[in-house]
Amino acid sequence: MTEQEDFSARLPNGHMFAFWEVPQEYERELHVDVNHPHASDQNDGSPDRPFKTINAAAQVATPGTRVLIHGGIYRETVQPAMGGTGPEKMISYEAYQGEKVIIKASVEVKDFKPSVGWRLFRGFRDAPPSLEGIKVWEIELNPEDFKGYNPFCAVNILHDRLFIEYDKTDMTPYLNRRGMVFVDGKPMQQVPLYNQLSQSDNTYWVEANGQKVHIRLPGDADPRDHVIEVTNREQCFAPKVPFLSYIRVKGLTLAHAATGAPVPQRGALSCYRGHHWIIEDCTIDWSNATGIDCGNECWHHSFVEGQIIGYHVIRRNTIKDVGVCGIAGMFVRNLLIEDNLIVGTGWQRMELSWEAGGIKLHHAVDCLIRRNVIKGCIGCDALWLDVGNENCRITSNLFIDGIQSREHIFIECSRDAENLIDNNIIWNVEGRYDKNALPAEPGSSGWYKTTELDIRNGYGIYLEGTDRLRMVNNLIGKCDKAGFFAKVVAFRLWPKRGGTSRENKFFNNLFYQCGEAAIILPNQHNQAEGNAYAQMPPGYLRVMYPEPEMCLDLATWQEFCGFDQTGCVCDVDIDINSDDLTMEVVFKSELPKVSADEKVCTDYFGNRDEGKRIAGPIIGLDGRKNRFSIDPRKLD
């Protein structure tokens, strides 16, 4: 398929996404091989005389250079000295012939001693018998491993703390230390007090000065029988100077970055306010806070006139187990995020710092987010477009299994240029205030301390102060509260007016088994046509204002609001297997065809429609039992 025929790349304004890549031809190659017997950073980078560290090559790589990195573990932070000069003269850092290259922001530690001088129980009584057999070990960190940065001395939260609602927030994760500990490659859980080591194994505690770490291994094992790693660097791949351009990073694994909670957004892999990076086929593995940052880092930076930020390509990466935010970008233009797997984001439970999500972008303009799988976000959104987003398209993505998350997609404060959400599968979001999932005991052990615990939420798509969003051909199902919810934010004046939640459009979507409602609108100044509804509770179509709120079925929705004149109620069973990403669909009655939207002419898999189609993201389904893969990624 040529670029001109790639209809999934057509943006809401009708123009094609501006692809800029060209085939690469490099003028020279530099080799890095940590395991080569003659490797040295004083070598010339030839195959027989490779560099020992990637960073040594990064200091001499010039435009048109390909840095070939041989397999091995590299414990360093790569800090490129310069970027390329254009699409034809990039600098590339890539795994040699697909070998496994791991850049770790951690160091292996040994020489643990039994932990002494601390109580495993509260108060001044004698230790209870239940604590017998618990074995806690300590290690004093080697200052040589922590020159310039000790994450065990720094708390998670960074310099901008003004957006945290302290009265609603358990501050424990924010005030935990950034340093992580791994046992045989698996993470330990940090506890804020020494005595809490008695409550669970596989835990660690950091002394006040950050110089000693105490650990309790799984099964109270001896650390001499295991590989113990502690993080000692903030990032794995990040320039020292901003605005470098035309850099390619391919096939690398970046692990154990001890980043702090955004903002600023500082990822394990950082574009550091640059432009025209290609990040592909990489793995981000266990970053404490942010996986990839690709924007202006934070809103405190002054803007440099004429400076380009964005135009990045982020494709075919696996971003797993990132504490706060998988991909983060502020003030990005022309960003392409495609064919990535983002899984397990948010385990730090720091959503109330408002920078959490599988993908979190601000002021995104002319961006294309397609064919990604975002799965298992913990207490945060899968995708959050925050403030001033224009002409962005979100298409053919799978958003699945939001764990105690308020919504899968959050579009905030975006008003005067249309954005498009089409042909996505948006499935299973639990809701953030799930009483059964919250700790029973009061106090700081709870995730949120709020009087609103009786509020039920869990939305497929959630809008705040957003107008003119177009939602087409999506499957939105298994949402604890509603498939769609919007609210007016009248006094958030950006840039010159407040949000009205008007002129949002719902065309040809399939809503399935939403807990309380399919659509909850704040007013009637929106459009809905051709949508299908299956296995809904009573009053599943709602308009909140003017009061009293209307709770309607399809017939009264059509009569009183004029919506969905070609909409329908359908009899269908849908089952999605989150493990193998397959879906089974059984239509028990024929689903009528509706007119295709003028801006969307393909389905979830890129198949062209013929002007008429059934509601939802997949064309060609019939009354038989259909089971098929819903992994949308193109991995070659």
User: Per-residue pLDDT for 345 more than 80?
Assistant: yes
The pLDDT tens digits for 113-129 are 999 999 898 766 666 77
Average pLDDT over residues 129-157: 93
Residue 338 β-bridge partners: 315, 370
Residue 274 identity (one-letter amino acid): G
Residues 6 or more apart whose CB falls under 8 angstroms from that of 574 comprise 475, 477, 512, 513, 534, 583, 584, 585
Cα first-last separation, the chain: 14
The pLDDT tens digits for 441-462 are 433 333 333 334 456 789 999 9
What b/e string do you get for 435-471 counting C-beta neighbours within 10 Å, with b at 16 or more? eeeeeeeeeeeebbeeeeeeeebbbbbbbbbbbbbbb
**Widest pairwise Cα distance in the chain:** 80
Question: How many residues does the structure list for the chain?
Answer: 636
How far apart CA 478 and CA 515 sit, in angstroms, is: 7
How far apart CA 544 and CA 332 sit, in angstroms, is: 35
- pTM score, two decimals? 0.94
CA 312 to chain centre: 16
Q: CB-hemisphere CA count at 13 Å for 78?
A: 34
User: Per-residue pLDDT for 414 more than 60?
Assistant: yes
Q: How far is CA 507 from CA 198, 411, 457, 547, 586, in A?
A: 55, 18, 23, 26, 22
The pLDDT tens digits for 393-412 are 999 999 999 999 999 999 99
Stated as kind and residue range, the H or E segment containing 402 is strand 398-402
Q: CB-hemisphere CA count at 13 Å for 129?
A: 0
For residue 149, give both structure tokens: 């940065």
Average pLDDT over residues 341-346: 98
SS3 378: strand
The pLDDT tens digits for 234-276 are 999 999 999 999 999 999 999 999 999 999 999 999 999 999 9
The pLDDT tens digits for 353-392 are 889 999 999 999 999 999 999 999 999 999 999 999 999 9
Per-residue pLDDT, 163: 74
pLDDT confidence of 437, banded at 50, 70, 90? very low
Residue 528: other Cβ atoms inside 10 A? 24
- Output the DSSP codes for 61-101: --TTEEEEE-SEEE-S-B--S---SBTTB-EEEEEGGG--E
The pLDDT tens digits for 170-201 are 889 999 999 999 999 999 999 999 999 999 99
- Output the DSSP codes for 19-31: --------SEEEE
Q: Pick the more confident residue, 435 or 462.
A: 462
Q: Please report where in the chains the tokens 């088994």 appear, as a residue.
A: 513
The rounded mean pLDDT for the chain is: 92
Per-residue pLDDT, 440: 43
How far apart CA 149 and CA 470 sit, in angstroms, is: 46
Pairing outcome for strands 407-412 and 181-183: unpaired
User: Per-residue pLDDT for 160 more than 90?
Assistant: no
Per-residue pLDDT, 305: 83
Q: Is the dihedral of CA 244, 414, 553, 591 positive or negative?
A: negative
Per-residue pLDDT, 126: 66
Per-residue pLDDT, 166: 80
Q: Is 356 exposed, middle or buried (0-12, 13-18, 19+ CB in 10 A)?
A: buried
Residue 46: other Cβ atoms inside 10 A? 11
How far apart CA 429 and CA 481 sit, in angstroms, is: 9
Q: Pick the more confident residue, 220 or 623.
A: 220
Domain boundaries, the chain: 108-230, 569-595+608-629
Residue 123 β-bridge partners: none
Q: Are 7 and 599 in contact (CB under 8 A)?
A: no
Per-residue pLDDT, 167: 79
Q: Are 433 and 408 in contact (CB under 8 A)?
A: no
Per-residue pLDDT, 200: 94
Q: Is 625 exposed, middle or buried (0-12, 13-18, 19+ CB in 10 A)?
A: exposed
pLDDT confidence of 94, banded at 50, 70, 90? very high
User: Per-residue pLDDT for 439 more than 90?
Assistant: no
Percent of the chain whose predicted confidence (pLDDT) is above 90: 83
Lowest mean pLDDT among 109-123, 143-157, 217-231, 426-440: 426-440
The hierarchical CATH code for the domain 108-230 is: 2.60.40
591 phi, psi to nearest 5 deg: -90, 125
pLDDT confidence of 512, banded at 50, 70, 90? very high
The pLDDT tens digits for 7-46 are 999 999 999 999 999 999 999 999 999 999 999 999 999 9
User: Per-residue pLDDT for 1 more than 60?
Assistant: no
555 phi, psi to nearest 5 deg: -65, -45
User: Per-residue pLDDT for 151 more than 80?
Assistant: yes
